[in-house]
Structure 1
């Protein structure tokens, strides 16, 4: 079974900025290219930061606000005030950028996004150069896989389950939901079958309708 990685879903023609890219140009890139994050790269195409739509909005959000430093100022307020006054991508960007290497499984990329609270991950090659960018929406593309492809992957996974074959198990998939029905010899085998099917990229859920002859869970 194919292991889905960020390489399969990432955007490879990346719209990016330089450290000295002016604020207005960064806005033009975001609006004109219909992107919501700009990796910032140096002369060697190494990612040094990321400018998001949220970063760009600080200047508008804080327009007309008294932005003089406060005596007891939170770190967040200080950063927002600095970005509102920024006039280049280097001043706006979040740095260091959270990146992933090419070949990272999409599940690992999704966990990293959630853990650090970002919506985009620049993808770097083995030399540290920008190779692409992946968004949360890109990771969801795996759930657009045809049901027929999922059926094939389920059968490939079921080869690891003792006694699971076309005579004992029936597999069907509808809108990404896998239904396993039939009967196996041991309950542990049915649990393994369900667990393996659930791990397949693009599977939304598994309906377990498998029976068994012997409950070996207490053994």
Structure 2
């Protein structure tokens, strides 16, 4: 059974800008595509940074010289703030080094990076670090937008038949709001854990309740 990969979920029609794109053109690109951030690439298409709406804020903040908030931010961010406040190109304002991911990585790995880094999107790069797509929080969350019937079909086909060599008649599968309940009897205890792990990996599964029992312990022999 094949887990969802970044390549399965990523968007390939990616808005991006070159590193020397003018500041205002960056703003227009974000607004015209209705996105809050995008990769920055060099002339060869390599990802060199990411620029978001947050990276553009220092310029406006620095404009209010009487603003206490702006002065506090200036002291805390120092050189980084000054660079972004004076930005005239994407290269000046972007965040670098970029956090990227490869197309063969699992959706679970992408989700872990997005969550741990507190970011909304990841540029997807090939072996040469060239931009080939973007995967976002929205792309990953969309995997849960599957019907219970679709999930049940995948569990019966990919977990029971292909993964465990069992017939659906041997193991009962019920799905309600994405929670899969398995029932019946397996030959050995170890099969129960494997069954749970495989079911958890099915796209759209919210949780697994495994009520399967075993005919014998793993150390027993007939």
**TM-score normalised by the chain length of structure 1:** 0.84
Q: Which moved more, 1:47-56 or 1:105-114?
A: 105-114
C-alpha separation in 2, matches of 1:202 and 1:142:
5
Mapping for residues 35-46 of structure 1, pairs under 5 Å: 35-46=35-46
SS of alignment partner, residue 58 of structure 1:
helix
Which digits, 9 at most, give the CA deviation of each residue in 1:93-122, with x for residues without a partner? 011211112222111112222333322111
Q: Show the counterpart of 2:30.
A: 30
For structure 2, the 5+ residue unaligned runs are none
Structure with the largest fraction of helix: 2
Deviation at 1:63, TM superposition (A): 3.2
Deviation at 1:92, TM superposition (A): 0.4
C-alpha separation in 2, matches of 1:105 and 1:40:
24
8 Å CA contact retained: 2:3, 2:201: no
Deviation at 1:214, TM superposition (A): 4.4
Report whether the alignment pairs 1:206 with 2:208. yes
Which digits, 9 at most, give the CA deviation of each residue in 1:59-111, with x for residues without a partner? 233431367899x954x343223212212111000112111122221111122
Q: Show the counterpart of 1:101.
A: 102
1:182 corresponds to which of 181, 184, 188? 184
Q: Show the counterpart of 2:136.
A: 135
Report whether the alignment pairs 1:6 with 2:9. no
Q: Show the counterpart of 1:169.
A: 171
**TM-score normalised by the chain length of structure 2:** 0.83
For structure 1, the 5+ residue unaligned runs are none
C-alpha separation in 1, matches of 2:72 and 2:210:
60
C-alpha separation in 1, matches of 2:89 and 2:206:
42
